[in-house]
Amino acid sequence: MEAVKSQLPQKQDVIISKYEQGCQGRAQVARPEEEDINTRPFINYLGILQEKMLPQDRALEAKHRHQEAQRVEKWVKMMKHWTQYQSSKKMESQVYKGIPLPMRGKVWSFLLDVDKVKAENPGKYQQMKGQGKLLSEHIHQIDADVRRTFRNHVMFRQRYGMKQQALFHVLLAHSEFDVEVGYRQGMNWVAAVLLMFLDEEDAFWALTQLMRKPRHAMHGFYKANCAKLVRLQQHHENILKCRLPKLKKHLEDQGVSTAAYTRKWFQQCFVDGVPFSLMLRFFDVYILEGEPMLTAMSYTALKIHRKQALQLSGDNLLEYLQEGLRQAWALRDNSVLRRLKASKTELERCKGLLPPPAKQEEMPRRLLGLELMSLVPRPHPTSQRLRVGCRKDRVGRPVAADWRELPSGLAPRTQGAGHPESNPGFFLGASDLGDTGDLSQGPCLFTTMSLLYTGECGLPGGKPLQGLLGSPKPAQPSLRCSRDSRSRGHPAAQHLPKLDPTVLTPLEPTMEDEECSVEGASP
């Protein structure tokens, strides 16, 4: 077992290296992964690979192109006057009719405020991506899921191709941006859809917005306690009891729980649960209106397929709800969207559209985007380098340790201005990096604010460091904390003092998440 653990860092480095090489990394890919690349040569207008060329209706195709051109003109006009249209009925109506393919990425960016959050965090994505390559513990799982995401789509078909590279990097960066969740299966499908219409960095910020914006709050789906998933599943079950009692009784008689088929629906926002073209139309509506549309779509899907479901039993019924709905539906996408809107109105009338309010345990409890930053200036050759307690990451690079674990000679001397609990400018450093690439220029630290300097540089504004830290002991050995502590949130993140509200609002203390089972959820 120890031998296997010792090989993990090397394997992770190999994975990262392949994605950095891109298509050149395919030299080490087993042939079976690519053996059928030429057996499905037909690609539809959405980029989906098909086994045979579908018959084309020339008149219908010409009508579709004409409608698409008209909608593009309307969307260009609305984008020019975004503040006027963004909350209007016209915007809602146009989204339900379908966002044209050329405009979809731009509209998603506007709806999720991607440009705004990116401008407020310059360089953050590159920092998180680089930090993920050093510290992320999810590299193997991300690589495995990237390999099987949208294999029938032309963008993700090529192993280590551009979009697979981008998907790997986005998920890796997000695993460091939100260390409370890290990476969970299901995120790969949502991120892949975003990458079809957005570039890499914009897709990362769109994903973070879906995770943390109150309208969507997908963060709660992926926490260990499954609180949000259970809440929506219980609400879905209540809707079935009130609106589809016959189908609900049939599911109970066949031993099929709502939790068994709704987990993928809710966590992946129907990305891998319905036909691809319909999924894009629903994703437009979900980005616009948020969480309630998951309730409305699950209700609509069961209403449309109720007759087929009532004729099935046992495992066949469960398989149909889990996998069968991905096949082509009898209705066209426009008809499904009209029914979705009608279901929304129906549930609003009976006060069943909105699920119960979110619980506190669904919210993020740890700081987002905590950075490991490198200090550029080296200490003066004649001065003694500052050493503090540290642990090492998977490639042997030091990471800042908790101030409470520092040797007594390095701990803050007083509870005055230099103490961590009273000074928001206090930071933790680590040195003696050796040959560590871009982090070899000096000590490193965790901070959520600005870049701070040690040695002879002083604090921003010319304030000296005297009084912040005691004199180091020459022979004092470095301390290390366990690697497992990183997965629960770095100690530096848990002991950060109150921060400047203009920079970041502190969250509640971390609590141990309780594992839960969604099986057998009851209202």
DSSP sequence for 94-158: HHHH---HHHHHHHHHHHTTHHHHHHHSTTHHHHHHHHHHHH-S-HHHHHHHHHTSSTTBTTT-S
Calculate the average pLDDT of the chain.
Answer: 74
Is 85 inside any structural domain? no
Mean pLDDT of 125-137: 92
CATH number at residue 196: 1.10.8.270
Residues of the chain with pLDDT > 90: what percent? 46
Coil vs helix vs strand at 368:
coil
Same-domain status, 305 and 263: yes
- Nearest 5°: the CA angle 187, 191, 196 is 150
| pLDDT at residue 490, as a whole number | 45
Q: What is the rounded average pLDDT of the residues 314-337?
A: 91
Does residue 7 register a pLDDT over 60? no
> Do residues 450 and 347 both lie within one domain?
no
Q: Alpha-carbon Rg of the chain, whole angstroms? A: 26
Residue 59 forms part of a structural domain: no
Together in a domain, 123 and 18: yes
41 pLDDT band, cuts 50/70/90, is low
Q: What is the pLDDT of residue 54?
A: 62
pLDDT in the model for residue 40: 56
Residue located via tokens 């010319």: 462
The answer on 26 and 167 residing in a single domain is yes
Return d(Cα 258, Cα 242) in angstroms, integer. Answer: 15
Of 61 and 211, which is predicted with more confidence?
211
* Residue 132 maps to a domain: yes
Q: Give the pLDDT band (50/70/90) at residue 44.
A: confident
pLDDT of amino acid 42: 79
pLDDT greater than 80 at residue 523: no
pLDDT at 452: 32
Helix (H) / strand (E) containing 400: strand 398-400
pLDDT at residue 511, rounded to an integer: 41
Task: Determine the pLDDT at residue 227.
Answer: 87
Lowest mean pLDDT: which of 2-16, 300-314, 453-467? Answer: 453-467
Question: What domain range includes position 134?
Answer: 8-52+71-76+90-213
Assign 190 a pLDDT band (cuts: 50, 70, 90): very high
Distance, in Å, from the CA atom of 39 to the CA atom of 41, rounded to the nearest integer, reads 6
For residues 365-378, give the mean pLDDT. 64
pLDDT for the residue numbered 56: 65
pLDDT value at residue 373: 52
Closest by CA to 434, choosing from 390, 468, 467, 471, is 390
Same domain, 391 and 499: yes
Domain membership of residue 342 (yes or no) is yes
pTM: 0.71
Q: Provide mean pLDDT across the span 484-501.
A: 43
- Per-residue model confidence (pLDDT) at position 371: 80
How many alpha carbons lie under 13 Å from residue 450 in its C-beta half-sphere?
Answer: 9
Q: Are residues 22 and 144 in the same domain?
A: yes
pLDDT band of 445, cuts 50, 70, 90: very low
The pLDDT value given to residue 25: 59
User: Is residue 325 included in any domain, yes or no?
Assistant: yes
> Does residue 336 carry a pLDDT above 60?
yes
Nearest to 395 by CA among 438, 349, 343, 361: 438
Least confident of 37-46, 269-278, 385-394: 385-394
Residues 392 and 445 in one domain: yes
In a shared domain, residues 410 and 319: no
> Do 350 and 386 share a domain, yes or no?
no
Query: In total, how many domains does the chain have?
Result: 3
Last residue of a domain, one of 362, 382, 404: 362
Region 47-66 average pLDDT: 73
Say yes or no: 27 and 136 in one domain: yes
Residues 109 and 166 in one domain: yes
In this predicted structure, what is the pLDDT of residue 65? Answer: 80
| Between residues 279 and 471, the one the model is more confident about | 279
Share of the chain above pLDDT 70, in %: 64
511 vs 184, higher pLDDT: 184
Query: Model confidence at 438, in pLDDT bands (50, 70, 90)?
Result: very low
Would you give the DSSP letter of residue 459? S
- Which amino acid is present at 463? K
State the average pLDDT over residues 478-505: 42
What does the pLDDT read at residue 188? 95
Tell me: pLDDT of 513 over 70: no
- What CA–CA distances, in Å, run from 404 to 41, 253, 491? 62, 58, 9
Cα–Cα distance measured from residue 443 to residue 376, given in angstroms and rounded to the nearest whole number = 8
* More confident of the two residues 26 and 1: 26
Beta strand 42-43 with 49-50: parallel, antiparallel or unpaired?
Answer: antiparallel
Q: Which of 185, 213, 241 is the last residue of a domain?
A: 213
Say if residues 423 and 412 touch (Cβ distance below 8 Å): no
140-155 as b/e: b if 16+ CB within 10 A: ebbbebbbebbeebeb
pLDDT tens-digit readout, 401-413? 433 333 333 333 3
Domain boundary pick from 362, 395, 417: 362
Q: Which two tokens stand for residue 320?
A: 């149909």
160 is a domain residue: yes
517-276-325 Cα angle (round to 5): 55
Mean pLDDT, rounded, for 336-346:
95
Bridge partner list, 445: 373, 429
Q: Are residues 342 and 482 in the same domain?
A: no
pLDDT for the residue 49: 82
Q: Is residue 141 predicted with pLDDT exceeding 50?
A: yes
Residue 81 resides in a domain? no
Structure tokens at 316: 């066949």
In a domain, 173, yes or no: yes
Position 128, amino acid: M
pLDDT (0 to 100) of residue 29 = 54
Given a cut of 50, is residue 437 above it in pLDDT?
no
pLDDT exceeds 60 at position 495: no
Does position 448 have pLDDT exceeding 50, yes or no?
no
